[in-house]
Structure 1
Amino acid sequence: MTETNPDEMTFEQAMAELEQVVAQLERGDVALDESISLYERGAKLRKRCDAKLKEAEEKVAAITLDAEGTPKGTKPVEGL
């Protein structure tokens, strides 16, 4: 089975797989070598989730509101 590159996953996909990895590690019924591989995979998935959350936060922060509180446009966010 080939694993999807976390950089190509949506936030939801990465989070779902991360939850599976954590559940496997918490059960404690996997061999040490497999545990290490799972931990490494989990670290990559967590990094992807963090990046996608930061990206979403920056987009939300860039939305400007008018006096009535409705969006009137967005400001470009550096680095996106």
Structure 2
Amino acid sequence: MAETSGQQAPQVPSEIAGMSFEEALEELRLIVGRLESGEGQLDQAIDAYERGAQLKAHCEAKLREAQAKIEKIALGPDGTARSEPFEGS
């Protein structure tokens, strides 16, 4: 899947795919904090950046899923507002 910037989205490992939005976002915040502080070696920073990109992609996917659920709840087939049970994963 391509992002709007023309770059391809990073592959998300199964361990990240199994995370909740909140878990992934918290780890992403920790990575950003470490990168901003300049902690660690260059190789570690590159690895952290790559994992951060994977976490970001996972969070974006979770947000798109949530948006689709909200839209399903908000509009009926005729365009009028309605609510129906979500058949989620």
Same fold (TM over 0.5): yes
Aligned counterpart, 1:72: 83
Q: Which residue of structure 2 lines up, in the alignment, with residue 9 of structure 1?
A: 19
Q: Shift in Å at residue 71 of structure 1?
A: 4.2
Q: Which runs of 5+ in 1 are unaligned?
A: none
Larger radius of gyration: 1
Q: Which runs of 5+ in 2 are unaligned?
A: 1-13
1:23-62 equivalent positions in 2, closer than 5 A: 23-62=33-72
Structure in which a larger fraction of residues adopt strand:
1
> Could you tell me how far apart the structure 2 residues matched to 1:51 and 1:18 are?
14
Aligned residues: 72
RMSD (CA atoms) = 2.8
Q: Which runs of 4+ in 1 moved over 6 A?
A: none
- 1:64: how far off? 3.9
Q: Quote the Cα distance in structure 2 between the aligned partners of 1:17 and 1:9.
A: 10
Code of the aligned partner of 2:40: V
TM-score normalised by length of structure 2 = 0.69
